[in-house]
Structure 1
Amino acid sequence: MMATPKLITQSGEPVSHFDLDAVENEATQEPFTFTLGGEVFTMLAPEDIDWQALADTSAPDWLLTYVAALLGDDFERFAAHEVPTRKLNKLLEACQEHYGVTPGGSKASARSSKSTRRR
């Protein structure tokens, strides 16, 4: 069910303050790739996956859903490998570092630097 807009222009059109459809994928970086078992895999930036992959972190399979979203078409090949949690954690950290994403899920601001971060 669609909510009725509260603001209408004189021409009868609803007021839209932001056009999400116009937002382009801002990923301009080289994709993050890694090897496992001699195969090469590509991970999306954590910011570029669908928000629903992290909607319920209390669900028993949330990590599986998250990794599947990051790997996209490469997930089935990745899932065929045994990967200890320690290595998966290192992989996710490397992916976040590559894309400049902090553990909170957003890119560090230009003001965030090694000299100003908390120690």
Structure 2
Amino acid sequence: MTTTAFDLDVWVKEARREPFRFTVSGRLFEMPAAGELDKSVLTSVNIDNPSARDIETLLKAGLGEAWPVFNEIPIPLAALGELFRRWQAHEGVPLGESSASADS
């Protein structure tokens, strides 16, 4: 019996999802699906229970070169939390704990 090695490169290519797009202050921003961030971000955030700083770090990683422009726009903290939840929902797999459902 011959076993074929699991090819992670093929899985990554096949699992690619559409980028997450959103607008704020009339500007369009785009981030990769949250699960496509590089594993290096794991060393700087608590994925299981992300703090406000962790969410900022993840958004910064997702926005990449667009971060400086995004960072200059005044945005309420509650709106950042909603942006993070929508980004998670776009992926379909939550990063950290999502907010409790209404019936919990």
Per the TM superposition, whether the score is higher than 0.5 is yes
TM bucket normalised to smaller: 0.5 to 0.7
Residue of structure 1 in register with 2:81 after alignment: 89
Cα–Cα, structure 1 residues 96 and 62, in superposed 2: closer, same or farther, change >3 Å? closer
Distance 2:82 2:12 in 1: 30
Q: Which has the higher contact order (CA 8 A, sep 6+)?
A: 2
Larger Rg: 1
Q: TM-score, normalised by structure 1?
A: 0.59
**Gap runs ≥5 in structure 2:** 98-102
Q: Identity of paired residues, percent? A: 31
Structure showing the higher helix proportion among its residues: 2
2:30 is the counterpart of 1:42: yes
Distance 2:79 2:58 in 1: 16
Q: 1:56 deviation in Å?
A: 3.0
Q: TM-score, normalised by structure 2?
A: 0.66
Q: 1:47 deviation in Å?
A: 0.6
Secondary structure at the aligned position of 2:12 is classed as coil
Are 1:68 and 1:75, in contact at CA under 8 Å, matched by a contact in 2?
Answer: yes
Choose the corresponding residue for 1:27, options 8, 16, 26.
Answer: 16
Are 1:54 and 1:62, in contact at CA under 8 Å, matched by a contact in 2?
Answer: no
**Gap runs ≥5 in structure 1:** 1-16, 106-117
